[in-house]
Structure 1
Amino acid sequence: MRLTKKSCLLLVIVGVIVLWMFFPLHPLDLWGSKHIYSYSWLNYSDADGGPENKCDCPAILQGDSKALEQAKTLTSTKDFQKSITIPNEYYINASQDCRNFKASRKYLTIPLSRVEEDFPLAYSVVVHHKVQNFERLLRAIYAPQNIYCVHVDKKSDASVYSAIGAITSCFPNVFTSTLWLTMVYAAWPRVQADINCMADLYNAKTKWKYFINLCGQDFPLKTNLEIVNALLSLRGDNSMESEQMPEGKKDRVTHTYKIVNGQNQPTGNEKEPPPFNLPILTGSAYIVVNRGYVRSVLEDSRIPALIEWSKDTFIPDETFWATIQRLPGVPGSKRPHPKYDMTDMNAIVRMVKWQGHEGTVYPECHGHHVRDVCVYGFGDVQWLLQQHHLFANKFDTDIDPIAVYCLEKYLREKALAELF
């Protein structure tokens, strides 16, 4: 009996379904990497940016002097400065149609490899302004297998709340923290915001492998696959700055502080010794830790006492995580001996250019400074990509969007090239 075209097509469909039932395939296998690569929405285009798309990013990444000079000339024009800021209202309106928002902003909606799919990550992102910075960060680190908790400063403008809420509502794996706090520089709420997100992430269905905390002005220096491979190479260890407390910083933990008028101010009172005679280490607010470390923060019987003791210290986010990293029994921890100390340059978390170390530890900043930290310019990008760190801080797209624009284009092209 001769089969009709319709019957043949039906048989093919049935055959594919049967094959899939017995030999389940990854989406990449079904489509083929070349087919995926041809989809225009995966690649950033020149139309995706603002006036910064006139820059020659490949040349800037090579440190080409002519391209750098052209970018400098462009950024100095009034028209450029007027047109680089994307208002919060854009994100509020654009994300009303989530499908179009994700497509037009070119979010990756499928895992790009089995390695990444099998190694989901958890992110905590603390934000208080600059929604454009946050959204471009989210787009750069977004993958459907990962999970993201966003903490918005309780004192942020209403438009920031609305814009970030609208953006996160478009993704099943991105959510705002269940508890919002008023952030105070150098005080305990900054730590508590991450602990709150840790709890939300730990109780989520996604069984992620590593936790990374960021702020809205961070940006990745590696693709998601590169980040996963770097974490796999840790073999269960954590990576963060954790060093012996220098004399110049000991006052932060030997005297008490109190939040007064939105500032963490000294009281003049001496502080009691730390609980359990714990050695207090110094480090950074930003960490890369395994799931077991997070479980210890939430469940270890020693941590509540350390939390209470830390609440009236100065810049506790630079001691709390570093101290837990040296507690015996915490997964991925190290002994509190100087031989196990790790500097920010050796950790993989985050590259920060401190003004006091420019010209010695690293080159001078090509952008500007905020609280002695370099806010990167496009002239810093070539050097940043030579570093082993996963992320860098700070970026400000309201002042220099070229640095972020060239980084995001480079990382997306590299992520797609990794498919082959």
Structure 2
Amino acid sequence: MYTNAFLPGWKFSKRIKCVLLSLLVFFIALVFVYFTCYKTSELDPTSQSTARILGEPARVPREYWEDLPVCSAIIRGELMGKKDEIARLLRPRERLSEEFYRGATTDCDAYKDKRGFIAAPLSAEERDFPIAYSMVIHGDVKLFERLLRTIYQPQNVYCVHLDQKSPEAFQEAVRAIVSCFTNVFVASKLESVSWGTWSIAQAHLNCMDDLLKSPVEWKYLLNTCGSDLPIKTNAEMVRALKLLNGQNSIYSDAFPDHNLHRWQYHHEVITNNNVYSTIARTDIRKTPPPIPMFYGSTYIVVTREFVKHVLEDEEVQNFIEWSKDTIMPEEHLWASLNRVSSMPGSVPAHSKYHRTDMTSIGRLVLWSGEAGDVTKGAAYPPCTSVIRREVCVLGVGDLPWVFRQHHLMANKFDPQVDDIAIRCIEAILISKR
């Protein structure tokens, strides 16, 4: 008989002691396997087992999680002004071509998995609140894919309007991507989109018509362009839209005096080479508008009922026809319609109900003309990147401010100007799913 050193006073036979030691070794080995395999996979956000543990029905490409620590520090403002250090910490990425997408989408299941598209609703709340998107794009296929991936959910529906004059290789690549999804489609009618003309509004109207014909019973519509990115997850968007309680959220303010000429005079569209168009004011005054005029934005957040009314109501159609010879009509069209009492989700025309771009939730834009020291009354902080047409092309230095805002989307982004800012948008949103 032997005395057990671990349990004084207890006596075991040699055989029992061997069994106990074997069990102890087995238990230690089991713990080792658990922490090196199971727990490792649990902590590895790119693994398929993580998808099962977290209920995440898609593989998240490792590149996003590699960016996350640096991007989180950027959002917290810890790397402000340290572009060289940020570039050193983040590995450069290959810029993908149109040919890549045409080849990758020949196997749609593999493409969607490798590129990190969500494969199933992430929650019952999101599943039961589908959103529609009207996407008017014209150039960068990679940026289009990044926009689509960050807003994509299988319960939502997406209409993609391709500018007729965009390069053929771009159109083919976009159509290849779209072909891999049952809830993403190219608009049935395409326009040649030109700045300042009715074509921008018409492109979204074409998508609205197609989206209403979709079998998806979506609740709200958001419209986007190719330089947009979301700054909220789909779940955060759903909760924000529910809080609207059937109202629209549209930038709709008093019309500035210096912009009254936009609709007071008839404008002519001048087409060059049957493709590119410009718009010019004439001396012909227009008839008074059929409804009160308000100033706003292209970007809107509207209910399904609002969209249906726009396409079917005779009064709205009259206003649309009246607006077609104005300049930048999309900046008064939605803003004015949302102040008509018969429009679903509208608000009264009284000045108490004015909304600016900062009090509506559709789109965050940093306008350089109103930027400066916010402690001294400026509307926006200074742009840390480059400025185009008075709009800041958002960079990493702007992201701390961007992520403090309540908007659903932000504009404008350009990978040629600051690709890291886009990478960080992706990494932050994916980490919050």
- So what's the TM-score if we normalise by structure 1? 0.85
Counterpart Cα distance in 1 of 2:207 and 2:391:
26
Q: Report the counterpart of residue 131 of structure 2 in structure 1.
A: 121
Q: Report the counterpart of residue 103 of structure 2 in structure 1.
A: 93
Q: Report the counterpart of residue 307 of structure 2 in structure 1.
A: 294
Larger C-alpha radius of gyration, 1 or 2?
2
Alpha-carbon deviation of 1:35? Answer: 2.3
Deviates more, 1:265-274 or 1:34-43: 34-43
Q: Report the counterpart of residue 395 of structure 2 in structure 1.
A: 377
Matches within 5 A, 1:191-340: 191-261=201-271, 262-275=277-290, 278-340=291-353
Higher relative contact order at CA 8 Å, sep ≥6: structure 1 or structure 2?
A: 1
Counterpart Cα distance in 2 of 1:170 and 1:71:
38
Residues 1:313 and 1:34: Cα distance change in structure 2 (over 3 Å):
closer
Secondary structure of 1:409 counterpart = helix
Residues 1:346 and 1:54: Cα distance change in structure 2 (over 3 Å):
closer
- So what's the TM-score if we normalise by structure 2? 0.82
* Runs (5+) with no aligned partner, structure 1: 1-30, 416-420
Alpha-carbon deviation of 1:53? Answer: 4.8
Contact residue 58 and residue 119 of structure 2 kept, 8 A? no
- The alignment's C-alpha RMSD in Å is 2.3
Q: Report the counterpart of residue 78 of structure 2 in structure 1.
A: 64
Aligned AA (1:223): T
- Are residue 366 (structure 1) and residue 357 (structure 2) matched? no
1:271-292: per-residue Cα shift (whole Å, max 9, x none)? 11112xx101110000000011
Alpha-carbon deviation of 1:43? Answer: 2.7
Alpha-carbon deviation of 1:167? Answer: 0.5
Q: Report the counterpart of residue 111 of structure 1 in structure 2.
A: 121
Residues 1:184 and 1:39: Cα distance change in structure 2 (over 3 Å):
closer
Contact residue 56 and residue 122 of structure 2 kept, 8 A? no
Aligned AA (1:170): C
Q: Report the counterpart of residue 26 of structure 1 in structure 2.
A: none
Alpha-carbon deviation of 1:37? Answer: 2.8
Residues 1:67 and 1:323: Cα distance change in structure 2 (over 3 Å):
closer
Secondary structure of 2:314 counterpart = coil
Residues 1:66 and 1:386: Cα distance change in structure 2 (over 3 Å):
closer
Aligned AA (2:388): V
1:201-260: per-residue Cα shift (whole Å, max 9, x none)? 001111100000000110001000000000000000000100111211100010111111
Alpha-carbon deviation of 1:397? Answer: 1.6
Alpha-carbon deviation of 1:382? Answer: 1.4
Q: Which runs of 4+ in 1 moved over 2 A?
A: 31-44, 52-55, 65-75, 83-86
Q: Report the counterpart of residue 180 of structure 2 in structure 1.
A: 170
Residues 1:355 and 1:328: Cα distance change in structure 2 (over 3 Å):
same
Contact residue 268 and residue 280 of structure 2 kept, 8 A? yes
- Are residue 386 (structure 1) and residue 404 (structure 2) matched? yes
Q: Report the counterpart of residue 416 of structure 2 in structure 1.
A: 398
Aligned AA (1:215): C
Alpha-carbon deviation of 1:73? Answer: 5.3
Alpha-carbon deviation of 1:39? Answer: 6.6
Equivalent residues, number: 376
Alpha-carbon deviation of 1:184? Answer: 1.0
Aligned AA (1:287): I
Secondary structure of 1:399 counterpart = helix
Q: Report the counterpart of residue 19 of structure 1 in structure 2.
A: none
